[in-house]
Amino acid sequence: MYNFTYHRAGSVDEAASLISDNEDAKLLAGGMTLLPTMKQRLAMPSDLVDLNEIGDLSGISVDGGTVTIGATTRHADVAASADVQAAIPALAALANQIGDPQVRNRGTIGGSLANADPAADYPAAVVGLGATVVTNKREIAGDDFFVDMFETALDEGEIITAVRFPVPQKASYFKFPNPASRYPIVGVMVAVTDAGVRVGITGAAPSAFRNAEMEAALGSNFSVDALDGISVDADGLNEDMHASAAYRASLVSTGAKRAVAAIA
Amino acid sequence: MTVKVTTTVNGNQVSGDVEPNTLLVHFIRENLELTGTHVGCDTSQCGACTVHVDGRPVKSCTMLAVQAEGHEVTTIEGIGEEGNLHPMQAAFQEEHGLQCGFCTPGMIMASIGIVDRNKDNLSEEVVRHELEGNICRCTGYHNIVKSVLAGARDM
Protein backbone atom coordinates (compact mmCIF):
# COMPACT_ATOMS: atom_id res chain seq x y z
CA MET A 1 0.00 0.00 0.00
CA TYR A 2 1.33 3.43 -0.93
CA ASN A 3 1.53 5.76 2.01
CA PHE A 4 -0.87 8.61 2.65
CA THR A 5 -1.70 11.21 5.25
CA TYR A 6 -4.33 10.07 7.73
CA HIS A 7 -7.03 12.35 9.13
CA ARG A 8 -9.51 11.32 11.80
CA ALA A 9 -12.54 13.52 11.20
CA GLY A 10 -14.49 14.57 14.28
CA SER A 11 -17.52 15.84 12.39
CA VAL A 12 -19.05 15.76 8.93
CA ASP A 13 -18.15 19.43 8.47
CA GLU A 14 -14.54 18.71 9.30
CA ALA A 15 -14.48 15.75 6.91
CA ALA A 16 -16.03 17.88 4.17
CA SER A 17 -13.46 20.61 4.59
CA LEU A 18 -10.58 18.11 4.65
CA ILE A 19 -11.75 16.47 1.43
CA SER A 20 -12.75 19.62 -0.42
CA ASP A 21 -9.24 21.04 -0.31
CA ASN A 22 -7.71 17.98 -1.90
CA GLU A 23 -8.90 16.15 -4.97
CA ASP A 24 -6.56 13.21 -4.29
CA ALA A 25 -8.09 12.59 -0.85
CA LYS A 26 -10.56 9.79 -0.22
CA LEU A 27 -13.14 9.16 2.48
CA LEU A 28 -12.62 6.02 4.58
CA ALA A 29 -15.71 4.32 5.99
CA GLY A 30 -15.62 0.56 6.62
CA GLY A 31 -12.72 0.19 4.23
CA MET A 32 -13.85 -3.21 2.97
CA THR A 33 -13.26 -2.19 -0.66
CA LEU A 34 -10.96 0.83 -0.36
CA LEU A 35 -8.27 -0.81 1.77
CA PRO A 36 -7.96 -3.99 -0.38
CA THR A 37 -7.84 -1.76 -3.48
CA MET A 38 -5.05 0.30 -1.92
CA LYS A 39 -3.20 -2.86 -0.88
CA GLN A 40 -3.17 -3.91 -4.51
CA ARG A 41 -1.90 -0.44 -5.41
CA LEU A 42 -4.91 0.11 -7.63
CA ALA A 43 -5.59 3.33 -5.75
CA MET A 44 -3.15 5.79 -4.24
CA PRO A 45 -5.02 8.54 -2.41
CA SER A 46 -2.78 11.24 -0.96
CA ASP A 47 -4.99 11.51 2.12
CA LEU A 48 -7.56 9.35 3.88
CA VAL A 49 -10.31 11.07 5.83
CA ASP A 50 -11.63 8.55 8.36
CA LEU A 51 -15.36 8.88 9.05
CA ASN A 52 -15.53 6.10 11.64
CA GLU A 53 -15.20 8.26 14.75
CA ILE A 54 -18.02 10.66 13.83
CA GLY A 55 -20.55 9.43 16.38
CA ASP A 56 -23.73 10.87 14.87
CA LEU A 57 -23.04 9.23 11.47
CA SER A 58 -23.89 5.83 12.94
CA GLY A 59 -27.18 4.48 14.21
CA ILE A 60 -30.65 3.30 13.30
CA SER A 61 -33.96 4.98 14.00
CA VAL A 62 -37.53 4.14 13.05
CA ASP A 63 -39.99 6.98 12.91
CA GLY A 64 -43.48 6.21 11.72
CA GLY A 65 -43.11 4.83 8.24
CA THR A 66 -39.40 5.48 7.79
CA VAL A 67 -36.26 3.59 8.77
CA THR A 68 -33.23 5.90 8.87
CA ILE A 69 -29.78 4.32 8.88
CA GLY A 70 -26.68 6.42 9.52
CA ALA A 71 -23.97 6.24 6.87
CA THR A 72 -21.34 4.47 8.98
CA THR A 73 -23.76 1.92 10.44
CA ARG A 74 -22.20 -1.53 10.02
CA HIS A 75 -23.95 -4.26 8.06
CA ALA A 76 -23.98 -6.45 11.20
CA ASP A 77 -25.89 -3.76 13.10
CA VAL A 78 -28.51 -3.44 10.39
CA ALA A 79 -28.86 -7.23 10.26
CA ALA A 80 -29.20 -7.56 14.05
CA SER A 81 -31.43 -4.54 14.61
CA ALA A 82 -34.76 -5.54 16.12
CA ASP A 83 -36.20 -2.30 14.70
CA VAL A 84 -35.12 -3.10 11.14
CA GLN A 85 -36.20 -6.73 11.51
CA ALA A 86 -39.65 -5.57 12.58
CA ALA A 87 -40.08 -2.76 10.03
CA ILE A 88 -38.33 -4.11 6.92
CA PRO A 89 -37.27 -7.72 7.52
CA ALA A 90 -36.06 -8.02 3.92
CA LEU A 91 -33.55 -5.23 4.56
CA ALA A 92 -32.18 -6.94 7.67
CA ALA A 93 -31.96 -10.20 5.73
CA LEU A 94 -30.12 -8.48 2.88
CA ALA A 95 -27.58 -6.96 5.28
CA ASN A 96 -27.02 -10.37 6.83
CA GLN A 97 -26.01 -11.81 3.44
CA ILE A 98 -23.25 -9.30 2.64
CA GLY A 99 -19.74 -10.78 2.57
CA ASP A 100 -18.98 -12.76 5.73
CA PRO A 101 -19.38 -12.04 9.46
CA GLN A 102 -16.05 -10.21 9.79
CA VAL A 103 -16.85 -8.04 6.76
CA ARG A 104 -20.30 -7.28 8.15
CA ASN A 105 -18.66 -6.11 11.38
CA ARG A 106 -16.72 -3.40 9.50
CA GLY A 107 -18.51 -2.61 6.25
CA THR A 108 -20.95 0.32 6.23
CA ILE A 109 -24.08 1.16 4.25
CA GLY A 110 -22.77 4.58 3.20
CA GLY A 111 -19.47 3.14 2.03
CA SER A 112 -21.21 0.45 0.02
CA LEU A 113 -23.49 2.96 -1.71
CA ALA A 114 -20.77 5.52 -2.42
CA ASN A 115 -18.61 2.78 -3.95
CA ALA A 116 -21.52 1.65 -6.18
CA ASP A 117 -20.07 -1.73 -7.00
CA PRO A 118 -22.35 -3.22 -9.68
CA ALA A 119 -22.47 -6.39 -7.60
CA ALA A 120 -23.16 -4.87 -4.17
CA ASP A 121 -26.32 -5.87 -2.29
CA TYR A 122 -27.50 -2.54 -0.85
CA PRO A 123 -28.20 -0.88 -4.23
CA ALA A 124 -31.05 -3.38 -4.76
CA ALA A 125 -32.59 -2.14 -1.51
CA VAL A 126 -32.10 1.56 -2.28
CA VAL A 127 -33.71 1.21 -5.71
CA GLY A 128 -36.20 -1.52 -4.82
CA LEU A 129 -37.50 0.11 -1.66
CA GLY A 130 -37.41 3.65 -3.05
CA ALA A 131 -34.94 4.94 -0.46
CA THR A 132 -33.58 8.46 -0.19
CA VAL A 133 -29.84 9.02 0.14
CA VAL A 134 -29.15 11.94 2.46
CA THR A 135 -25.86 13.82 2.07
CA ASN A 136 -24.25 16.82 3.73
CA LYS A 137 -25.63 18.93 0.87
CA ARG A 138 -28.99 17.52 -0.24
CA GLU A 139 -31.27 14.52 -0.57
CA ILE A 140 -30.99 12.23 -3.59
CA ALA A 141 -33.81 9.89 -4.64
CA GLY A 142 -32.72 6.26 -4.81
CA ASP A 143 -33.84 6.12 -8.43
CA ASP A 144 -31.39 8.89 -9.33
CA PHE A 145 -28.45 7.82 -7.18
CA PHE A 146 -26.73 5.15 -9.29
CA VAL A 147 -25.37 6.50 -12.57
CA ASP A 148 -23.07 3.82 -13.92
CA MET A 149 -20.54 1.21 -12.82
CA PHE A 150 -18.82 2.62 -9.69
CA GLU A 151 -20.41 5.99 -10.47
CA THR A 152 -23.06 7.78 -8.43
CA ALA A 153 -24.83 11.14 -8.45
CA LEU A 154 -22.56 12.31 -5.61
CA ASP A 155 -20.51 15.42 -6.34
CA GLU A 156 -16.79 15.51 -5.59
CA GLY A 157 -16.41 15.71 -1.83
CA GLU A 158 -20.11 15.16 -1.10
CA ILE A 159 -20.61 12.91 1.93
CA ILE A 160 -23.48 10.49 2.52
CA THR A 161 -24.80 11.01 6.04
CA ALA A 162 -27.80 8.64 6.13
CA VAL A 163 -30.19 6.54 4.08
CA ARG A 164 -33.95 6.74 4.60
CA PHE A 165 -36.05 3.71 3.71
CA PRO A 166 -39.84 4.04 3.55
CA VAL A 167 -41.40 1.01 5.24
CA PRO A 168 -43.12 -1.10 2.56
CA GLN A 169 -46.24 -3.21 3.10
CA LYS A 170 -44.04 -6.19 2.39
CA ALA A 171 -40.73 -6.88 0.68
CA SER A 172 -38.44 -9.76 -0.15
CA TYR A 173 -34.84 -10.04 -1.35
CA PHE A 174 -33.59 -12.90 -3.47
CA LYS A 175 -29.85 -13.29 -3.89
CA PHE A 176 -27.90 -15.65 -6.10
CA PRO A 177 -24.42 -15.28 -4.61
CA ASN A 178 -21.10 -16.00 -6.21
CA PRO A 179 -20.05 -18.98 -4.07
CA ALA A 180 -16.53 -17.64 -3.52
CA SER A 181 -16.95 -13.89 -3.06
CA ARG A 182 -20.56 -13.86 -1.80
CA TYR A 183 -21.27 -10.89 -4.05
CA PRO A 184 -24.63 -11.29 -5.77
CA ILE A 185 -24.33 -12.44 -9.36
CA VAL A 186 -27.92 -11.21 -9.35
CA GLY A 187 -29.96 -9.82 -6.47
CA VAL A 188 -33.64 -8.82 -6.70
CA MET A 189 -35.60 -6.77 -4.17
CA VAL A 190 -39.36 -6.90 -4.66
CA ALA A 191 -41.42 -4.50 -2.55
CA VAL A 192 -45.12 -3.78 -2.28
CA THR A 193 -45.39 -0.12 -1.29
CA ASP A 194 -48.23 2.36 -0.94
CA ALA A 195 -47.14 3.80 -4.28
CA GLY A 196 -47.13 0.46 -6.07
CA VAL A 197 -44.85 -2.52 -6.60
CA ARG A 198 -41.12 -1.93 -7.05
CA VAL A 199 -38.56 -4.37 -8.44
CA GLY A 200 -34.92 -3.37 -7.83
CA ILE A 201 -32.14 -5.41 -9.40
CA THR A 202 -28.42 -5.48 -8.61
CA GLY A 203 -25.53 -7.50 -10.03
CA ALA A 204 -27.02 -7.81 -13.48
CA ALA A 205 -26.14 -4.45 -15.06
CA PRO A 206 -23.51 -1.72 -14.61
CA SER A 207 -25.69 -0.26 -11.88
CA ALA A 208 -28.89 -1.13 -10.03
CA PHE A 209 -32.10 -0.64 -11.99
CA ARG A 210 -35.86 -1.26 -11.88
CA ASN A 211 -37.93 -3.41 -14.21
CA ALA A 212 -41.09 -1.48 -15.17
CA GLU A 213 -42.72 -4.42 -16.95
CA MET A 214 -42.48 -6.64 -13.88
CA GLU A 215 -43.69 -3.83 -11.63
CA ALA A 216 -46.79 -3.26 -13.80
CA ALA A 217 -47.60 -6.96 -13.99
CA LEU A 218 -47.18 -7.45 -10.24
CA GLY A 219 -49.17 -4.26 -9.58
CA SER A 220 -52.28 -5.75 -11.13
CA ASN A 221 -51.69 -9.32 -9.94
CA PHE A 222 -49.13 -9.92 -7.19
CA SER A 223 -48.30 -13.53 -7.95
CA VAL A 224 -45.51 -15.60 -9.44
CA ASP A 225 -47.75 -16.36 -12.41
CA ALA A 226 -47.92 -12.66 -13.27
CA LEU A 227 -44.24 -12.81 -14.17
CA ASP A 228 -44.68 -15.65 -16.65
CA GLY A 229 -43.93 -14.53 -20.15
CA ILE A 230 -41.93 -11.46 -19.12
CA SER A 231 -38.50 -11.94 -20.62
CA VAL A 232 -35.54 -9.84 -19.54
CA ASP A 233 -33.40 -8.41 -22.32
CA ALA A 234 -29.79 -9.56 -21.97
CA ASP A 235 -28.57 -6.65 -24.06
CA GLY A 236 -26.40 -4.38 -21.93
CA LEU A 237 -26.22 -6.75 -18.97
CA ASN A 238 -22.89 -7.63 -17.38
CA GLU A 239 -20.89 -10.50 -18.77
CA ASP A 240 -17.82 -11.92 -17.05
CA MET A 241 -16.15 -15.19 -16.05
CA HIS A 242 -18.89 -15.83 -13.49
CA ALA A 243 -21.97 -15.51 -15.70
CA SER A 244 -22.95 -14.58 -19.24
CA ALA A 245 -25.40 -11.75 -19.91
CA ALA A 246 -28.03 -14.28 -20.99
CA TYR A 247 -27.60 -16.23 -17.75
CA ARG A 248 -27.90 -13.04 -15.72
CA ALA A 249 -31.11 -12.16 -17.60
CA SER A 250 -32.47 -15.58 -16.74
CA LEU A 251 -31.44 -15.12 -13.09
CA VAL A 252 -33.32 -11.80 -12.94
CA SER A 253 -36.53 -13.57 -14.00
CA THR A 254 -36.00 -16.47 -11.63
CA GLY A 255 -34.91 -14.18 -8.81
CA ALA A 256 -37.97 -11.98 -9.15
CA LYS A 257 -40.22 -15.04 -9.06
CA ARG A 258 -38.48 -16.44 -5.99
CA ALA A 259 -38.72 -13.08 -4.22
CA VAL A 260 -42.43 -12.82 -5.02
CA ALA A 261 -43.07 -16.43 -4.00
CA ALA A 262 -41.64 -15.69 -0.55
CA ILE A 263 -44.27 -13.01 0.19
CA ALA A 264 -47.18 -13.60 -2.22
CA MET B 1 5.46 10.72 8.70
CA THR B 2 4.61 8.40 11.55
CA VAL B 3 1.48 8.66 13.63
CA LYS B 4 1.21 7.74 17.27
CA VAL B 5 -1.42 5.11 18.01
CA THR B 6 -2.62 4.30 21.52
CA THR B 7 -4.96 1.39 21.96
CA THR B 8 -5.82 -1.41 24.34
CA VAL B 9 -4.65 -4.88 23.36
CA ASN B 10 -5.61 -7.85 25.53
CA GLY B 11 -6.43 -5.47 28.37
CA ASN B 12 -3.12 -3.62 28.29
CA GLN B 13 -2.75 -0.08 27.06
CA VAL B 14 -0.13 -0.01 24.33
CA SER B 15 1.15 2.67 22.02
CA GLY B 16 3.52 2.91 19.14
CA ASP B 17 4.59 5.07 16.23
CA VAL B 18 3.37 3.71 12.93
CA GLU B 19 3.19 4.79 9.33
CA PRO B 20 -0.42 5.59 8.38
CA ASN B 21 -0.42 2.66 5.94
CA THR B 22 0.47 0.13 8.67
CA LEU B 23 -2.22 -2.52 8.90
CA LEU B 24 -3.52 -3.51 12.31
CA VAL B 25 -2.21 -7.05 11.83
CA HIS B 26 1.33 -5.78 11.25
CA PHE B 27 1.15 -3.54 14.30
CA ILE B 28 0.05 -6.54 16.36
CA ARG B 29 2.70 -8.89 14.98
CA GLU B 30 5.68 -6.58 14.52
CA ASN B 31 5.30 -3.78 17.05
CA LEU B 32 3.68 -5.81 19.81
CA GLU B 33 5.33 -9.12 18.84
CA LEU B 34 2.05 -10.97 19.28
CA THR B 35 2.55 -13.46 16.48
CA GLY B 36 -0.45 -15.67 17.19
CA THR B 37 -2.46 -13.58 14.73
CA HIS B 38 -1.52 -14.79 11.25
CA VAL B 39 -1.42 -13.26 7.80
CA GLY B 40 -2.81 -15.77 5.34
CA CYS B 41 -4.19 -14.44 2.08
CA ASP B 42 -3.68 -10.74 2.85
CA THR B 43 -6.74 -10.06 0.67
CA SER B 44 -9.51 -10.07 3.33
CA GLN B 45 -10.71 -13.53 2.44
CA CYS B 46 -9.10 -16.23 4.57
CA GLY B 47 -9.77 -14.95 8.09
CA ALA B 48 -6.42 -16.11 9.56
CA CYS B 49 -5.87 -12.54 10.82
CA THR B 50 -9.19 -12.36 12.71
CA VAL B 51 -9.05 -10.45 15.99
CA HIS B 52 -11.77 -8.84 18.07
CA VAL B 53 -12.19 -5.07 18.02
CA ASP B 54 -14.56 -3.91 20.74
CA GLY B 55 -15.62 -7.54 21.12
CA ARG B 56 -16.44 -8.20 17.47
CA PRO B 57 -14.43 -10.32 15.03
CA VAL B 58 -12.80 -8.35 12.22
CA LYS B 59 -10.04 -9.05 9.72
CA SER B 60 -7.00 -7.19 11.00
CA CYS B 61 -5.42 -7.19 7.51
CA THR B 62 -8.24 -4.90 6.39
CA MET B 63 -8.05 -2.27 9.10
CA LEU B 64 -5.42 0.38 9.66
CA ALA B 65 -3.46 0.34 12.91
CA VAL B 66 -4.38 4.01 13.43
CA GLN B 67 -8.05 3.03 13.34
CA ALA B 68 -7.56 1.03 16.55
CA GLU B 69 -6.92 4.29 18.42
CA GLY B 70 -9.18 4.34 21.45
CA HIS B 71 -10.61 0.89 20.78
CA GLU B 72 -10.13 -2.47 22.49
CA VAL B 73 -8.37 -5.19 20.55
CA THR B 74 -8.28 -8.82 21.64
CA THR B 75 -5.96 -11.33 19.98
CA ILE B 76 -5.68 -15.09 20.39
CA GLU B 77 -3.08 -14.45 23.13
CA GLY B 78 -5.69 -12.54 25.11
CA ILE B 79 -8.33 -15.19 25.52
CA GLY B 80 -6.41 -17.94 27.32
CA GLU B 81 -2.97 -19.28 28.14
CA GLU B 82 -1.22 -22.58 28.49
CA GLY B 83 -2.84 -24.47 31.35
CA ASN B 84 -5.82 -22.13 31.29
CA LEU B 85 -7.19 -22.31 27.79
CA HIS B 86 -10.36 -20.57 26.66
CA PRO B 87 -13.15 -23.17 26.26
CA MET B 88 -13.00 -22.67 22.49
CA GLN B 89 -9.25 -23.30 22.43
CA ALA B 90 -9.70 -26.41 24.57
CA ALA B 91 -12.44 -27.67 22.28
CA PHE B 92 -10.27 -27.28 19.15
CA GLN B 93 -7.59 -29.32 20.94
CA GLU B 94 -10.01 -31.96 22.20
CA GLU B 95 -11.96 -32.37 18.94
CA HIS B 96 -8.91 -32.25 16.66
CA GLY B 97 -10.14 -29.02 15.07
CA LEU B 98 -6.78 -28.34 13.44
CA GLN B 99 -4.12 -29.99 11.37
CA CYS B 100 -1.30 -27.58 10.50
CA GLY B 101 -2.76 -24.93 12.81
CA PHE B 102 -2.20 -21.92 10.59
CA CYS B 103 -5.87 -20.97 10.34
CA THR B 104 -6.62 -21.91 13.96
CA PRO B 105 -6.18 -18.55 15.74
CA GLY B 106 -8.53 -16.90 13.26
CA MET B 107 -10.95 -19.83 13.41
CA ILE B 108 -11.09 -19.59 17.20
CA MET B 109 -11.58 -15.81 17.25
CA ALA B 110 -14.30 -16.07 14.59
CA SER B 111 -15.92 -19.00 16.41
CA ILE B 112 -16.22 -17.07 19.66
CA GLY B 113 -18.07 -14.44 17.64
CA ILE B 114 -20.38 -17.08 16.18
CA VAL B 115 -21.29 -18.27 19.68
CA ASP B 116 -21.75 -14.70 20.92
CA ARG B 117 -24.14 -13.87 18.07
CA ASN B 118 -26.13 -17.11 18.19
CA LYS B 119 -26.49 -17.97 21.86
CA ASP B 120 -30.07 -19.12 21.44
CA ASN B 121 -29.99 -20.74 18.04
CA LEU B 122 -26.58 -22.34 17.61
CA SER B 123 -26.65 -25.35 15.34
CA GLU B 124 -24.31 -27.18 13.02
CA GLU B 125 -25.96 -25.38 10.10
CA VAL B 126 -25.40 -21.96 11.69
CA VAL B 127 -21.75 -22.77 12.45
CA ARG B 128 -21.05 -24.03 8.93
CA HIS B 129 -22.67 -20.95 7.42
CA GLU B 130 -21.02 -18.40 9.68
CA LEU B 131 -17.54 -19.86 9.22
CA GLU B 132 -17.69 -18.56 5.65
CA GLY B 133 -15.14 -15.85 6.43
CA ASN B 134 -12.47 -18.36 7.42
CA ILE B 135 -10.62 -20.77 5.17
CA CYS B 136 -8.86 -24.02 6.20
CA ARG B 137 -6.72 -25.55 3.47
CA CYS B 138 -5.61 -28.70 5.31
CA THR B 139 -8.45 -31.02 5.72
CA GLY B 140 -11.93 -29.56 5.60
CA TYR B 141 -14.25 -28.24 8.20
CA HIS B 142 -15.86 -31.24 9.85
CA ASN B 143 -13.78 -31.27 13.02
CA ILE B 144 -13.71 -27.50 13.14
CA VAL B 145 -17.53 -27.46 13.26
CA LYS B 146 -17.47 -30.16 15.95
CA SER B 147 -14.99 -28.05 17.91
CA VAL B 148 -17.11 -24.90 17.71
CA LEU B 149 -20.20 -26.75 18.93
CA ALA B 150 -18.21 -28.35 21.76
CA GLY B 151 -16.61 -25.02 22.68
CA ALA B 152 -20.01 -23.35 22.72
CA ARG B 153 -21.26 -25.85 25.30
CA ASP B 154 -18.51 -24.81 27.69
CA MET B 155 -18.62 -21.06 27.09
Residue intervals in chain B for CATH 1.10.150.120: 87-154
d(CA A137, CA A121): 25
Contact A101 B114 (CB under 8 A): yes
- CA B35 to chain A, closest CA, distance in angstroms equals 20
pLDDT in tens, A23-39: 899 999 999 999 999 99
Q: From the centroid of its chain, how far is CA A258?
A: 20
Task: Give buried/exposed letters for A40-65 (b at 16+ CB in 10 A, else e).
Answer: eeebebebbbbbbbbeebbebebeee
Assign domain B3-78 to its CATH superfamily. Beta-grasp domain (3.10.20.30)
pLDDT digits (tens, 9 = 90+) for A211-255: 999 999 999 999 999 999 999 999 999 999 999 999 999 999 999
Residues A169-191 have a mean pLDDT of 96
CATH 1.10.150.120 assigned to B87-154: yes
Residues B44, A36: C-beta atoms closer than 8 Å:
yes
For A111-122, how does the pLDDT look when each residue is reduced to its tens digit (9 = 90+)? 999 999 999 999
CATH 3.10.20.30 domain extents, chain B? 3-78
- The whole-angstrom distance between B4's CA and the closest CA on chain A is 11
Domains of chain A, earliest start first: 1-55 (3.30.43.10), 170-263 (3.30.390.50)
Query: What is the C-alpha to C-alpha distance for residues A89 and B120, in angstroms, rounded to an integer?
Result: 19
pLDDT score of A21 more than 80: no
Does B64 sit within 8 Å of A39, measured CB to CB?
no
ipTM over the 0.90 cut-off? yes
